[in-house]
Chain A
């Protein structure tokens, strides 16, 4: 974050997830701010990035979605960039992010979920993996 930023962002975590054994096999993470990477609810295409303990994101900075009874969070203040790593032409993918709540009250999301699908919307691993940056936004609020 720079003090000159008119819409400040702070990096919480960054790195890349690769799949050296090919789609559907073990995941490897390299970077900062993430303590583990696991498969989500599907054999391919869903990745749960667990934020480091003590990270700002574990103290409510990364709010969970959904946050009942609210349909949308009052201050959706985290932004994540995901870019596929191309070891070969990757084909057409969809990419989505979500933030999973901690079971501890008063603690924000601990898991950043990344889901990738192929053009048929089937959860699919990108062969080269992906890089990501998780950013915390400051200031602002609902408009208007």
Chain B
């Protein structure tokens, strides 16, 4: 078994920006004021050629970790739940986008200040 990291970086919500590797764009999908962002994987990345299957994972060969960066004293967060979904927009091509959903301690969609993400492909 081996893992290959295909993307990793930090999403900063105040500027809705990404800093890292393997992601070419970060946007907020229409209809969501907070708590949902969409990362677009780099063109040519392994994940764009079927390595990352879309939707509910019947062939779950991708793993993502998300950790919220804290703020304040002590540097904590209100985010209690984090989720990922792998989306596709091209037939016969794997997921080209990764949706990140964050929910606060009151079960409401909410933005953290920033979060770290790493995405691995499993072989």
| Bound together | yes
Is B4 located at the chain interface by the 8 A CB criterion? Answer: yes
* Contact call B80/A92, Cβ cutoff below 8 A: yes
- Expressed in whole angstroms, the Cα–Cα distance for A78 and B12 within the complex equals 14
A87 at the interface (CB under 8 A from B): no
Interface residues of B in 1-52 (CB under 8 A from A): 2, 4-10, 12, 15, 17-26, 45-46
How close is B112's CB to chain A, nearest CB, in angstroms? Answer: 8
Q: A2-B2, A4-B4 are in contact. Are A79 and B70 (CB under 8 A)?
A: no
Interface size on A, residues (CB 8 A): 45
Which residues on the B side are within 8 Å of A38 (C-beta)?
Answer: none
Q: Which listed residue (B25, B70, B73) contacts A144, Cβ 8 A?
A: B25
Give the shortest distance, in Å, between B41 (CB) and chain A (any CB). Answer: 10
A7 contacts which chain B residues (CB < 8 A)?
5-8, 20-22, 118-119
Across the interface, do B5 and A80 meet the contact criterion of CB distance under 8 Å? Answer: no
Complexed CA–CA distance, A71 and B23 (Å): 22
Q: Are B74 and A45 in contact (CB under 8 A)?
A: yes
Closest-by-CB residue of A relative to B12 is A72
Q: How far is the CA of A121 from the CA of B80 in the complex (A)?
A: 9
Is B9 touching A140 in the complex (CB atoms < 8 A)?
A: yes
User: Could you say which residues of chain A place their CB within 8 Å of the CB of B4?
Assistant: 2, 4-6
Please give the residue numbers on chain B whose beta carbons come within 8 Å of chain A beta carbons, in ascending order.
2, 4-10, 12, 15, 17-26, 45-46, 65, 67-71, 73-80, 105, 114, 116-119
Q: A residues engaging B (CB < 8 A)?
A: 2, 4-9, 40-42, 45-46, 65, 72, 75-82, 92-98, 113, 115, 117, 119-121, 123, 135, 137-144
Supplied contacts A6-B46, A113-B70, 11 more A-B pairs, CB within 8 Å: A6-B21, A45-B76, A65-B69, A76-B114, A76-B116, A77-B20, A94-B79, A96-B79, A140-B21, A141-B19, A143-B9
